[in-house]
């Protein structure tokens, strides 16, 4: 038993928690019923609006001013933007919108620099693009001189600004609490205020970001992961207004293993008939991070009411220009080679995967220092943060047939579709005419399947399709013996991380 496991067991004993994990998600038990989160989408009547749900300005700890932030979002073709500064509810792009507490405290420690710069009613960006701000039916729009409009998401904020853990993004609710607060405080507060929320970059707080191999990340035999999985599951079970997790953000360094967490949560919730949604975001604190991750919201019109409805119903896709998981990249390049032969794209993906694997091996042998992103990430962004790929994958239609037990995906600018269930890759198909028949993979498919669509320009994630009738209580969502340690639970992740480092130093792990 290595040092990490020994210390994990000791911590579990000290905290008197009974560690028992119900890992099996079960199958559909003969039922082919597929619950389609996109069933309400009229594919001929919606637009996929490119949406930024998480980014920062120098009103908190971001580098760019609001003006610079929005100029870059315009340059990278965003349709909808939520500015979510720490502890700072976004009320306006026209005039100063900052929390004196948060901005002042961050300025003292050098994390907020420069003058705040808001848009006014009209003006021009540094690149010469003129704009006006207008209000229509209660929503604010930034109207550019070329005719494009960017809608402001109301009341964007990253909650728990002065906590040592527990960042939660929320929108649509005028809520903040800048005392020392927890996940529960923020999610409950947003719920009571009538907003929607999501758990941000969970790999940062569980410390999964510091793992070297996928097999170790969110391994619930380890107390730190057992604890965090149960903590988040309990919150997601109690508060429907908390949509799920952010599973690919920024350059995917912190979140590269958070798709594993998403699947673990789905294995607990899907058999009970509940879906857990996942977003992608940039969490941009610098201009060159703005277009790393985002959401495509499927909406008949560009209004905040339509956006809220799309998010609440799972009628959206996560998307990213970056991937930092070497196992996923290995599966992708092998599929590209098998289905299309070797190409510049397959070689680029392969090179990134092999470089990351080599770095991980060197760390394990003590020949290299660990870092939080293993040094290499596959990305289609240039050094300034602009996408250099000629095309970007997009899902243009989804059809589910319960009679045939099939899920069909139509897409553009895509090459492969990866079908995932129970946390494992079930099969990979060509994007053209992609169909998943659950009868063909009955032995590999549990209570859900989700799809990842990959192309030259990056990756797009569907929400999960639930399989089976879904009976509440059929699988435990929260394990027996779980106790929430509230504001002190950040110590659990730190403990697990340092026990692993100590083990490597002593040559015991």
Per-residue pLDDT reduced to its tens digit, 358-376: 999 999 888 888 776 677 8
Chain centroid to Cα 325, Å, comes to 14
pLDDT surpassing 50 at residue 1: no
Query: For the ranges 23-27, 66-70, 290-294, 374-378, which has the lowest average pLDDT?
Result: 23-27
Label residue 434 by pLDDT band (50, 70, 90): very high
Could you tell me the domains of the chain? Answer: 3-24+40-324+475-505 (3.20.20.140), 34-39+325-467 (2.60.40.10)
Query: How many CA atoms, within 13 angstroms, populate the side-chain half-sphere of residue 76?
Result: 30
Inter-CA distances, 89 with 22, 72, 167, 370, 398, Å = 39, 21, 14, 36, 36
As a whole number of angstroms, the distance between CA 357 and CA 162 comes to 36
pLDDT surpassing 90 at residue 333: yes
Inter-CA distances, 285 with 103, 166, 200, 334, 426, Å = 14, 18, 14, 34, 36
Sheet with 157-159, strands from edge to edge, namely: 157-159, 168-171, 196-199, 242-249, 277-281
As a whole number of angstroms, the distance between CA 409 and CA 86 comes to 38
Is there a contact between 27 and 468 (Cβ–Cβ < 8 Å)? yes
Per-residue pLDDT reduced to its tens digit, 93-141: 999 988 888 888 888 878 888 899 999 999 999 999 999 999 999 999 9
Query: Which of these, 399, 400, 314, 397, lies nearest to 32 by C-alpha position?
Result: 400
């Amino acid at each position: 038993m290595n040092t990490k496991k020994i210390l994990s067991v000791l911590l579990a004993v000290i905290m008197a928690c009974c560690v028992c994990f119900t890992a099996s998600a079960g199958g559909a038990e003969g039922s082919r019923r597929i619950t389609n989160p996109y069933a309400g989408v009229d594919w001929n009547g919606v637009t996929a609006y490119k949406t930024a749900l998480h980014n920062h300005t120098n009103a908190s700890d971001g580098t760019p001013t609001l003006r610079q932030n929005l100029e870059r979002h315009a340059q990278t073709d965003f349709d909808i933007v939520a500015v979510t500064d720490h502890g700072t509810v976004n009320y306006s792009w026209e005039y100063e919108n900052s929390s004196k507490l948060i901005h002042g405290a961050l300025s003292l420690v050098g994390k907020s620099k420069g003058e705040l710069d808001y848009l006014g009613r009209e003006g021009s960006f540094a690149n010469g693009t003129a704009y006006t701000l207008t209000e229509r039916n209660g929503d604010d729009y930034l109207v550019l001189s070329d005719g494009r409009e960017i809608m402001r998401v109301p009341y964007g904020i990253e909650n728990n600004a002065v906590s040592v853990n527990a960042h939660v993004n929320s929108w649509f609710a005028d809520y903040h609490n800048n005392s020392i607060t927890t996940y529960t405080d923020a999610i409950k507060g947003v719920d009571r205020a009538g907003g929607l929320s999501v758990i941000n970059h969970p790999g940062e707080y569980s410390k999964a970001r510091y793992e070297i191999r996928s097999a170790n990340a969110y391994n619930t035999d380890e107390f730190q992961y057992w604890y965090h999985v149960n903590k988040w599951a309990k919150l997601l079970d109690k508060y429907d207004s908390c949509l799920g997790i952010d599973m690919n953000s920024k350059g995917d360094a912190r979140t590269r293993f958070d798709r594993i967490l998403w699947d673990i949560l789905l294995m607990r919730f899907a058999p009970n008939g509940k879906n857990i949604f996942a977003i992608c975001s940039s969490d941009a604190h610098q201009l060159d991070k703005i277009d790393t991750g985002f959401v495509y919201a499927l909406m008949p019109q560009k209004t905040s009411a339509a956006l809220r409805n799309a998010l609440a119903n799972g009628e959206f896709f996560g998307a990213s220009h970056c991937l930092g998981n070497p196992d996923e990249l290995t599966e992708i390049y092998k599929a590209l080679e098998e289905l299309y032969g070797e190409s510049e794209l397959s070689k680029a993906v392969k090179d990134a995967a092999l470089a990351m694997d080599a770095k991980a091996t060197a760390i394990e042998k003590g020949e290299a220092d660990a870092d939080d992103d293993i040094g290499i990430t596959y990305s289609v962004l240039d050094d300034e943060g602009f996408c250099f790929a000629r095309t970007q994958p997009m899902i243009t239609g989804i059809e589910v047939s319960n009679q045939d037990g099939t899920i069909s995906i139509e897409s553009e600018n895509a090459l492969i579709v990866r079908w995932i269930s129970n946390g494992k890759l079930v099969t990979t198909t060509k994007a053209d005419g992609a169909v998943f028949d659950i009868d063909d993979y009955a032995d590999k498919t549990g209570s859900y399947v989700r799809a990842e669509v990959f192309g030259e320009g990056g990756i797009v994630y569907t929400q999960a399709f639930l399989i089976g009738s879904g009976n509440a209580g059929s699988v435990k969502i929260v394990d027996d013996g779980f106790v929430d340690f509230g504001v002190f639970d950040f110590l659990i992740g730190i403990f697990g991380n340092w026990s692993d480092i100590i083990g490597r130093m002593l040559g015991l792990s």
